[in-house]
Structure 1
């Protein structure tokens, strides 16, 4: 088991993500003893495993007590350790909201529908829906039309998209932005989703409804 733990840990650090279908990744998710030892070894260097049943990959991130020592504090606080500028982080959050939030809604709906129609005694052990079957892309042109000027203009927008693609957050294909292996892992859905849905998004929709002519707001759809 020792060599397998070393191999998986080294791959997580070297490649940043490992597909959850990989034999060692599956063992980390299903073997309690293996997972406990993996968690212990990662914790010794201030890291923890990141995974969720809806994501196709696993990765590592900092333990909460390590946030301040790594990112600094007060005026020297870094908003990320990937070299992203503030407008790059803002673009990342926008992409997460437009790709992951709708995907998660579809995944949860499918799981709930499956539970309602479940008739076999082993149905609960079936894997959850993941991957491109439920993930849709975002048009680069539409994204720039909506947010490009606020994010620094065409040059900054393209530069930040390139950074996010290189880091594995998105895949650029025929002027469409598709989910990359890091996008569903590096932002905590349980914390971010309520902030977007109940906070910033609610404010935006509220302002649009206030400014729209009577009845116009009813026809608006999320992209």
Structure 2
């Protein structure tokens, strides 16, 4: 007989991420006992469930206390534990800033409208906004024009950087546009990155390139 928590654990390990709309995932998000069993199964093998209510997917990642035993003390993984190079990480952060930050602003604004009752008299019971209504995309040609000169030439960025990020599930490339992949929002910590990017050097670089970022004030309420 199928055991739902066992099955969901195996599916997460096999797929790395699953959409929040998946029936078993939805159960894990609302059923405390089921979630506790899922988390216990993951913890038994040194993993944890990563769930950001604003993201469209959930994922699994190493538990904090096993980073050292798994990757060793040599710090080879200090920049990335999935083998990303420095320029791939740089491009990943740029794409995250250009897609996720504006998306989060739209999500928060939509949620505020719902909470104010302007869209639905029962708005406070509505799920957080996801999907096409808040999704964004980025022109690949524009990204290359603005950042390929500092990351390498166009062919290198397309063939080595973007292709690797797509392969790992951080982005999706369709029709000359870059879309958020299943792991982009859920694995990069918004609370850690947003303020540093918006008010840091990268925010100034993006603004100079014609990509001004939204203000981070209140953009992570409820997380």
TM-score, normalization: structure 1? 0.86
**Residue aligning to 2:88:** 88
**Residue aligning to 2:218:** none
**What SS class does the counterpart of residue 148 from structure 1 fall into?**
helix
1:17-96 maps to which residues of 2 (within 5 A)?
17-73=17-73, 75-96=75-96
Bigger shift: 181-190 or 149-158?
A: 149-158
**Residue aligning to 1:168:** 169
Q: 1:187 to 1:31 in 2, by over 3 A?
A: same
Task: Please say if residues 17 and 57 of structure 1, whose CA atoms lie closer than 8 Å, have aligned partners that are also in contact.
Answer: yes
Q: 1:180 to 1:205 in 2, by over 3 A?
A: closer
TM-score, normalization: structure 2? 0.86
Q: 1:72 to 1:146 in 2, by over 3 A?
A: farther
Query: Matches of 2:85 and 2:24 in 1, distance apart?
Result: 35
Q: 1:127 to 1:93 in 2, by over 3 A?
A: same
**Residue aligning to 2:217:** none
Q: Which runs of 5+ in 2 are unaligned?
A: 214-223
Query: Matches of 1:140 and 1:205 in 2, distance apart?
Result: 15
Higher relative contact order (CA 8 A, sep 6+): 2
- Measured after TM superposition, the shift of residue 120 of structure 1 is 6.7
Cα RMSD, aligned residues only:
2.4
Query: Matches of 2:199 and 2:102 in 1, distance apart?
Result: 15
Structure with the bigger percentage of helix: 1
- Measured after TM superposition, the shift of residue 81 of structure 1 is 3.0
Query: Matches of 1:39 and 1:199 in 2, distance apart?
Result: 36
Task: Please say if residues 172 and 180 of structure 2, whose CA atoms lie closer than 8 Å, have aligned partners that are also in contact.
Answer: yes
Asked if residue 192 in structure 1 is aligned to residue 193 in structure 2, the reply is yes
Bigger shift: 136-145 or 98-107?
A: 136-145
Q: 1:110 to 1:121 in 2, by over 3 A?
A: closer
**Residue aligning to 1:222:** 212
Q: 1:164 to 1:65 in 2, by over 3 A?
A: same
Q: Which runs of 5+ in 1 are unaligned?
A: 209-219
**What SS class does the counterpart of residue 18 from structure 1 fall into?**
strand
